Structure 1
């Protein structure tokens, strides 16, 4: 159980750090505005800029779906499998 927790925590940390980094580069026009990190990207006219925006979006979903998988979906599937009787050992 501890290894699933650490895997989920690592994916959450990696995704959050990447999302904040790419969001600060591409989605924050000014540090004095209230809305940051969730603005639409402005001034992205190069392929590298589009890759950066896409990477930020992928890291956001990694931050959400990674822990959800390791903290919720895998334990539920193991519990269901043991309740059905398909797995004799835990």
Structure 2
């Protein structure tokens, strides 16, 4: 179970840092106003479009990745063990 925790935590950290970096670049119009949640600018270049596409992807990967390793995989492992015990 420790390896699932480490994988989920790694996903959380890496995706979270990526999301915070992109949100800081594209969704922080000024430091006096809203930060990380402002309106996105118009995509001027291909790199801006890629960054604006990756931002929500990283956000949801940051949320769903750890939940998968911390909740869903242990539930399926316990269910499989329970099923194996009942089958014997």
The CA distance in 1 between the partners of 2:38 and 2:29, in whole Å, is: 8
1:66-85 Cα distance to aligned partner (Å, 9 max, x none): 10010000000001111122
How big is the alpha-carbon RMSD for the aligned residues of Structure 1 and Structure 2?
1.6
In structure 1, runs of 5+ residues without a counterpart are: none
Q: TM-score, structure 1 length as denominator?
A: 0.87
1:12-54 Cα distance to aligned partner (Å, 9 max, x none): 0001100000001111101111x22122211322221010011
- More off after superposition, 42-51 vs 76-85: 42-51
Aligned residue number for residue 68 of structure 2: 69
The CA distance in 2 between the partners of 1:48 and 1:57, in whole Å, is: 15
1:85 aligned onto 2:84: yes
Question: Which has the larger helix fraction?
Answer: 2
* Paired residues of 1:20 and 1:37 also in contact (CA < 8 A): yes
The CA distance in 2 between the partners of 1:62 and 1:24, in whole Å, is: 18
* Paired residues of 1:15 and 1:63 also in contact (CA < 8 A): yes
> How many residue pairs align between the two structures?
86
Q: CA deviation at 1:61?
A: 1.1
The CA distance in 2 between the partners of 1:39 and 1:69, in whole Å, is: 29
Moved over 6 A (4+): none
